[in-house]
Amino acid sequence: MTRTKKDLTHKSSESVAEILIESSDSANSEKSKTAASSLGVQIEKDTEPEVDRSVYFFNRELSWIAFNKRVLHEGIDSRTPLLERAKFCAIFSTNLDEFFMVRIARVKKKLAEQIDIITDDGLTPQKQLEVIREALVPLVTMEHEFFENNLRQELHKNGVKLLDYKDIDKKHQRYLKTYFQEKLFPVLTPLAVDPAHPFPYISNLSLNLVVIVRDRETGEKNFARVKVPSVLPRFVKIPETDDHTFVPLEQVIAHNLDALFPGMEIMSYYPFRITRDAELDIEEEEADDLISALQEELRKQKFGSVVRMEIANDIPTEIRQELIEQLGITEADVYDIPGLIGLGDLMAIAFLPMPEHQDKPWKSVTHPRLKDTSGESNIFEIIREGAFLVHHPYQSFTTTVQRFIEEAALDPNVLAIKQTLYRTSGDSPIVHALIGAAENGKQVAVLVELKARFDEANNILWAKKLENAGVHVVYGLKNLKTHTKTALVVRQEGDRLVRYVHIGTGNYNPKTARFYSDLGIFSCSDDLGADLTDLFNYLTGYSRQRDYRKLLVAPVNMRDRFLQLIHREIEHQKKGYPSYIIAKMNSLVDPEIITALYEASQVGVNVDLIIRGICCIRPKVKGLSERIRVISVIGRFLEHSRIFYFSNGGQEQVYIGSADWMPRNLDARVEVITPIEDTILIQELKQILEIVLADNRQAWDLKADGTYIQRIPKDDEPEMSSQKHFMSQGRPEFA
């Protein structure tokens, strides 16, 4: 049975599920079978995998690259303040570092282990690496050429001069020579590479110089490596200038190499930078002590295989090949860079004291419910008056979430505090409050997710501080990450215990709360309190709790419940009742959810999706997804909130929580989504969604071919940035 791409775009929902099964290999068959069964389709076992699955799914990695391209666009866009443009270029680069350390590393492992898993869009690991490189090479070139030819000059015009060493005068060269001798020379260790000196270990994300020297006595050429120390600023400031003048640190080293190689002639030098596999591979079933196993993996992580080398584009072929051979990589792992390597370091430039070239400073406002000028009300009295939502960073994290935990720690009537912590900072007032609560004799239980990527070492450190203070610390669940954002406070009030809850979409991290857009609800609902009690018993003890009164909990009931909610909209549409789905999240990947959304579109349900990052659904395909619209908002704040709206035949239902529609969130993490049942709060969330959908400044529309087009206001309409709108609600000067 052969189908063409044209044929596929006119199939019924039943055929969609059938095709997903036909085109799956053994590794993906279970996901596809689940997607088919959700549509009630039975598939013959002997069908051939003949179809182009990319008709139905965008490739996850290519979709992420498209997201990072939108980040870069904010750096290129002349409407963005100058130093903020440098910031977005830095974010683009650091995003790409993480992409290689995790996603590329994972694909390369599958290839090395000959695990021929086919992606949802039908690609083998080898093909994925090929199409990823094809997409990345022009994007990386775009960033560096933009920096060298545009942004660098624009910075220069406005008093931020990133000069090459050769372009500074003799006076400042003498200053840099002194800087080298006093600050750099004692730190540097030149390493020879020859039969007596094996190729040195190159640390992850380190900037290095490969140096070619010639012995003046023998004429012999030699190869050496000098690491650029990351403990010093990447850009060395030149003093006694009227502006901000800098020279790259590697150039200061390069122009003083004679001090490192006395008696040698410096022939040439070239910068390069490597990226290593940073994925942790913990066999949790075999680990007697999760902390010890994790610490051992963190040690091994330093020696992960090299997955990328960035190198000066003018490096001679023989040196290039030597590095490729010594690092154990292929030509496909090499990215030629015109100009400065490692533009993530531009973040330091973005924070120079030049407010005229930065976003206007933002200070969150206090939630209206918490503006008690008398100071007599405690937060528990306010919550008892009725549940309320908080919207960060527009509303203060300090005066809401932080206050909730701090007051609980000091309140003599509070008996217990239970909280999940996925990411936070070691100096967090949340952590200090929890320690104080334990010292005050309260029962404090904290689930610390040790496996939070790139925060593993930090989480181990402050988790031990909590434990040493008497806090009951649980280090996650075996084979599951705990990603939920929940806090439960148990308070004695007269002869009864009252449970107060906070359920949010973002981490309990006061630093990221300043620039992550997130939501949370405070409530003393009996049902939510009982559900969180059951959840914490599941997290800290032995429990197979499957029934929750209100909460959607992954991996227990969330997937099934979301599918039920989507299919209920389908049934409403078939019966002529109001039907509409709006979902806002970070990423949409799950094939079963996507299949259900396709079915919803095919019967006439309008589906609006606000997906900041990865989006694997294909919108606006005739006969498949004509009623599905996807937008992405990239702006000053990182869109991080998850909101799910279902019109439900006129009886609107809205949910918020920690989970995206991804297999990892629905099947491999502990997540919580809570219903919002107060009519006023439902309207508040609905208004947030409507404002974001109306954004014509920082919203991008996803097209059927996978391209994103940034919205531009029409001639007869004003510019509307949803983030600026939310800022102006508390502070009109931001309107």
Residue (of 560, 548, 547, 420) closest to 482 by Cα position:
420
Q: How far is CA 431 from CA 43, 107, 623, in A?
A: 53, 37, 52
Count the Cβ atoms, other than its own, within 10 Å of residue 493: 11
Q: Is the pLDDT of residue 564 over 50?
A: yes
Q: Which fold has domain 378-548?
A: Endonuclease; Chain A (3.30.870)
Q: Judge contact between 666 and 594, C-beta under 8 A.
A: no
Q: What is the CATH number of domain 106-357?
A: 3.30.1840.10
Adjacent-strand bridge partners of 273: 207, 310
For the ranges 424-428, 486-490, 584-588, the lowest mean pLDDT is seen at 424-428
Q: How far is CA 710 from CA 55, 713, 724, in A?
A: 23, 10, 17
In the structure, what pLDDT confidence band is assigned to residue 375 with cuts at 50, 70 and 90?
low
Q: Is the pLDDT of residue 28 over 60?
A: no
Residue (of 556, 544, 550, 552) closest to 527 by Cα position:
550
Q: Is the pLDDT of residue 96 over 90?
A: yes
The pLDDT of residue 314 is 92
Strands of 155-263, DSSP E: 160-162, 191-193, 207-215, 221-227, 235-237, 244-248
The pLDDT of residue 4 is 36
- Provide DSSP, 648-674: GGGS-EEEEES--BSHHHHHSEEEEEE
Count the Cβ atoms, other than its own, within 10 Å of residue 278: 20
In the structure, what pLDDT confidence band is assigned to residue 284 with cuts at 50, 70 and 90?
very low
Residue (of 287, 294, 660, 278) closest to 451 by Cα position:
294
Q: Is the pLDDT of residue 18 over 80?
A: no
- Provide DSSP, 128-158: HHHHHHHHHHHHHHHHHHHIIIIIHHHHHHT
SS3 for 31?
helix
Q: Judge contact between 568 and 594, C-beta under 8 A.
A: no
Mean pLDDT of 720-729: 96
The pLDDT of residue 280 is 58
The pLDDT of residue 542 is 67
| Residue 625 structure tokens | 């997804």
Mean pLDDT of 487-513: 96
- Provide DSSP, 541-578: S-------SS-EEETTTHHHHHHHHHHHHHHHHHTT--
DSSP alpha helix (H) spans, 55-124:
60-76, 82-98, 105-112
DSSP, res 103: I
Taking only the tens place, the pLDDT of each residue in 616-628 is 999 999 999 999 9
**Cα–Cα dist 446/420, whole Å:** 6
Q: Judge contact between 333 and 140, C-beta under 8 A.
A: no
Q: Do domains 378-548 and 553-734 have the same CATH topology?
A: yes
Angle made by CA atoms 104, 107, 112, in degrees to the nearest 5: 120
Q: Please identify which residue in the block is written with the tokens 């959908």.
A: 693
Mean pLDDT of 241-253: 93
Sorted by sequence, the CB contacts under 8 Å of residue 519 that are 6+ apart come out as 389, 390, 391, 392, 504, 505, 506, 641, 643, 656, 685, 688
Residue type, 529: G
Q: Between 2 and 712, whose confidence is greater?
A: 712
Taking only the tens place, the pLDDT of each residue in 465-481 is 888 889 998 887 777 88
**Cα–Cα dist 617/628, whole Å:** 9
For the ranges 114-118, 389-393, 573-577, 711-715, the lowest mean pLDDT is seen at 114-118
For the ranges 391-400, 416-425, 513-522, the lowest mean pLDDT is seen at 416-425
The pLDDT of residue 335 is 98
Average pLDDT, the chain: 88
Adjacent-strand bridge partners of 310: 273, 335
Q: Judge contact between 617 and 630, C-beta under 8 A.
A: yes
**Cα–Cα dist 350/344, whole Å:** 11
In the structure, what pLDDT confidence band is assigned to residue 451 with cuts at 50, 70 and 90?
low
Active site residue 567: no
The pLDDT of residue 244 is 94
Q: Where are the domains of the chain?
A: 1-55, 106-357, 378-548, 553-734
Q: H or E element: which one contains 526?
A: helix 526-540
483, 502, 572, 725: the catalytic one is 483
Q: Judge contact between 307 and 105, C-beta under 8 A.
A: yes
Q: What is the dihedral of CA 528, 531, 535, 537, to 10 degrees?
A: 120
Adjacent-strand bridge partners of 585: 611
Own/partner pairs, 173-182, CB within 8 angstroms, 24+ separation: 173/255, 175/238, 175/239, 176/236, 176/238, 176/247, 176/252, 176/255, 176/256, 177/256, 179/236, 179/252, 180/252, 180/253, 180/256, 180/259, 181/256, 181/259
Mean pLDDT of 385-409: 97
DSSP alpha helix (H) spans, 581-678:
591-603, 663-667
Sorted by sequence, the CB contacts under 8 Å of residue 96 that are 6+ apart come out as 68, 136, 140
Adjacent-strand bridge partners of 235: 248
Residue (of 29, 89, 602) closest to 347 by Cα position:
89
DSSP, res 360: P
Percent of the chain with pLDDT over 70: 87
Count the Cβ atoms, other than its own, within 10 Å of residue 472: 15
Adjacent-strand bridge partners of 669: 481
SS3 for 531?
helix
Q: Judge contact between 17 and 36, C-beta under 8 A.
A: yes
For the ranges 238-242, 318-322, 373-377, 460-464, the lowest mean pLDDT is seen at 373-377
DSSP, res 422: S
Q: 553-734 sits in which CATH class?
A: alpha beta
Residue (of 24, 19, 18) closest to 5 by Cα position:
19
